[in-house]
């Protein structure tokens, strides 16, 4: 189970002990980036000659983090995350304090002759400060862990979000709740829900994954969210992960742009500003029906062969007949089984009859090929594809895809064949890719980012 993180300071603030070396010549302390300072230092400044009774700070940063060190003298550092407040007396040149973005801080009670050095993660930006405390309180993003009582609120938000699909509906996510420890989050500003994050927790590696049971699963965003608010959400989510579960890493699986109902790449910019690292990139093959590339002749010949053999194409409801074909193909060719069992797929299709469809190619005797299609917003996604030996011999799959692309989903913006890569994208199945590109599909990437916390 997830354990609470022992941290008494608000907003992710923490004291940072720095190395000290002393001998008869005096003392020396130092800080190393990434070892002592948890960010790349972009700016260094120092504060000195502060008159008695004066204060410094009294602001928050929207995205800049700082480490403050009293190299001489002392002062009191007040830190406030909008919910709790603490005061730390800073009087050691080998102890700094980390001030993450989104924390209100104020330096006061300077002793005479105090000098403090500040190491910052970003260059100076006047627009990056909030100086009014009441305004600051209004800007705070409140991150809450999802609970079953939030079921309806979650589903309503997903349905109205800019980039959500039915895969994020709790009826879909919860079918495999026994396999993943849910760590989904809901992000509010005041009473307004700005974003939700489907996620699970991996205790062994102290990692949050968004989401291990889904092909994609980044932040789902409100129509009203701004880019600055998305950055605040990203910072708030990261702070929640650090403080509440003691996470060391966040694996972020972006929602590909083709699934967006409205432009929704604020999260990609926020990831960039948080120094996220691209860890995996899968290639999926997608047809853009607004500007369709003609099929290659080899695929057209397959379509003609299917027609010559009298193969018919239609929507079917007998999952069991297709599942026999699918399981046989996966076992014989790949030594594996479908991600979803037949019972699980029946359960999901029952919950989402308009979004999960089965189309088959058949003759009078049997199912020759089939495709399970997920209708996810602007995309028809081929979730499962299989053809029997007989089906391959008569071009059943070529004919079925022509039927789906040119008739069933001709007005859908995108038809997604799915990925043709393995091992995080380092292996490309060129034979599979050739087949998909033969229908006029071209590459769209599915990206995974890693954020070190």
The answer to whether the CB of 207 falls within 8 A of the CB of 251 is yes
- Dig out the tokens for 301 from the structure: 């010949």
Q: Over the stretch 353-401, which tens digit does the pLDDT of each residue have?
A: 999 999 999 988 789 999 999 999 999 999 999 999 999 999 999 999 9
pLDDT for the residue 243: 85
Place of tokens 């701004």: 226
**How far is 314 from 358, CA to CA, in rounded Å?**
9
pLDDT band at 5 (very low <50, low <70, confident <90, very high): very low
Q: Over the stretch 28-65, which tens digit does the pLDDT of each residue have?
A: 999 998 889 989 999 999 999 999 999 999 999 988 99
The answer to whether the CB of 326 falls within 8 A of the CB of 371 is no
pLDDT above 60 for 231:
yes
Residues 6+ away with beta carbon under 8 Å from 66: 98, 99, 118, 119, 120, 121
What does the DSSP assignment read for 233-290? HHHHHHHHHHHHH--SEEEEE---GGG-SS---HHHHHHHHTT-EEEEEEEEEEEETT
Across residues 293-301, what is the average pLDDT? Answer: 94
The DSSP secondary-structure symbol of 74 reads: -
Helices 319-334/342-351 angle, 10° precision: 140
Residues 6+ away with beta carbon under 8 Å from 441: 285, 286, 287, 293, 415, 417
What does the DSSP assignment read for 300-358? HHHHHHHHHTT-EEEEE--HHHHHHHHHHHHHHHHS---SS-HHHHHHHHHH-TTTEEE
pLDDT above 70 for 6:
no
For all residues of the chain together, what is the average pLDDT?
Answer: 92
Residues 6+ away with beta carbon under 8 Å from 252: 210, 218, 267, 271, 276, 448, 449, 450, 451
What does the DSSP assignment read for 149-162? GGHHHHHHHHHHSS
Provide, rounded to the nearest whole percent, the portion of the chain with pLDDT above 70. Answer: 98
pLDDT for the residue 4: 35
Cα→Cα distances 148→2, 151, 159, 290, Å: 17, 5, 17, 40
**How far is 223 from 162, CA to CA, in rounded Å?**
6
- What element of type H or E holds 14? strand 14-17
Greater model confidence, 142 or 381:
381
Which own/partner contact pairs does 13-17 have at CB distance under 8 Å and 24+ positions apart?
13/79, 13/86, 13/88, 13/97, 13/98, 13/99, 13/100, 13/103, 14/97, 14/98, 15/88, 15/95, 15/96, 15/97, 15/98, 16/67, 16/95, 16/96, 16/97, 16/98, 17/94, 17/95
Provide, rounded to the nearest whole percent, the portion of the chain with pLDDT above 90. Answer: 80
The 10 Å Cβ neighbour count of residue 62 is 18
β-pair type (249-253, 207-210): parallel
Angle ∠(424,428,430) on CA atoms, nearest 5? 160
Q: Over the stretch 301-358, which tens digit does the pLDDT of each residue have?
A: 999 999 999 999 999 988 999 999 999 988 888 888 888 899 999 999 999 999 999 9
* Alpha carbons within 13 A on the beta-carbon side of 214: 33
């Amino acid at each position: 189970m997830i354990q609470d993180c022992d941290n008494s300071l608000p907003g992710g603030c923490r004291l940072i002990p720095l190395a000290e070396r002393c001998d008869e010549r005096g003392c020396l302390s130092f800080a190393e980036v990434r070892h002592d300072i948890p960010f790349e230092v972009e700016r260094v400044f120092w504060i000195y000659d502060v008159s008695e009774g004066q204060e410094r700070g009294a602001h928050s940063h929207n995205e800049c983090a700082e480490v403050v060190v009293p190299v001489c003298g002392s002062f009191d550092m007040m830190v406030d995350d909008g919910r709790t407040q603490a005061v730390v007396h800073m009087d050691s040149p080998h102890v700094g304090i980390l001030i993450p973005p989104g924390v209100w801080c104020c330096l006061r009670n300077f002793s005479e002759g105090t000098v403090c050095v500040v190491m910052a993660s970003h260059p100076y930006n006047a627009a990056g400060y909030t100086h009014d405390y009441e305004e600051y309180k209004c800007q705070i993003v409140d991150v809450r862990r999802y609970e079953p009582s939030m079921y309806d609120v979650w589903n309503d938000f997903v349905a109205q979000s800019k980039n959500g699909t039915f895969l994020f509906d709790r009826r879909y996510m919860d079918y495999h709740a026994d396999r993943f420890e849910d760590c989904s989050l809901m992000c509010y500003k005041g009473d307004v829900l700005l974003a939700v994050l489907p996620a699970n927790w991996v205790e062994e590696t102290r990692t949050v994954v968004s989401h291990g049971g889904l092909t994609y699963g980044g932040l789902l965003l409100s129509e009203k969210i701004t880019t600055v608010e998305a950055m605040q959400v990203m910072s708030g989510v990261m702070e929640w992960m650090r403080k509440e579960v003691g996470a060391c890493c966040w694996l972020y699986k972006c929602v590909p742009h083709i699934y967006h109902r409205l432009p929704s790449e604020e999260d990609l910019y926020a990831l960039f500003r948080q120094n996220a690292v691209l860890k995996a990139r899968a290639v999926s093959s997608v047809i853009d029906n607004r500007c369709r590339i003609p099929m290659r002749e080899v695929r057209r010949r397959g379509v003609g062969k299917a027609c010559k053999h009298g193969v018919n194409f239609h929507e079917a409801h007998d999952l069991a007949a297709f599942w026999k074909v699918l399981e046989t193909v996966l076992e014989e060719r790949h030594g594996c089984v479908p991600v979803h069992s037949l019972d699980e797929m029946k359960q999901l299709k029952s919950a989402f009859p308009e979004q999960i469809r089965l189309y088959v190619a058949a003759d009078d005797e049997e199912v020759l090929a089939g495709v399970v299609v997920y209708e996810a917003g602007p995309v028809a996604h081929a979730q499962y594809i299989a053809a029997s030996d007989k089906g391959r011999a008569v071009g059943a799959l070529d004919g079925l895809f022509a039927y789906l692309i040119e008739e069933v989903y001709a007005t859908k913006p995108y038809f997604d064949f799915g990925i043709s890569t393995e091992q995080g994208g380092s292996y490309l199945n060129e034979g599979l890719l050739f087949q998909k590109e033969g229908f006029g599909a071209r590459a769209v990437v599915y990206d995974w980012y890693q954020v070190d916390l």
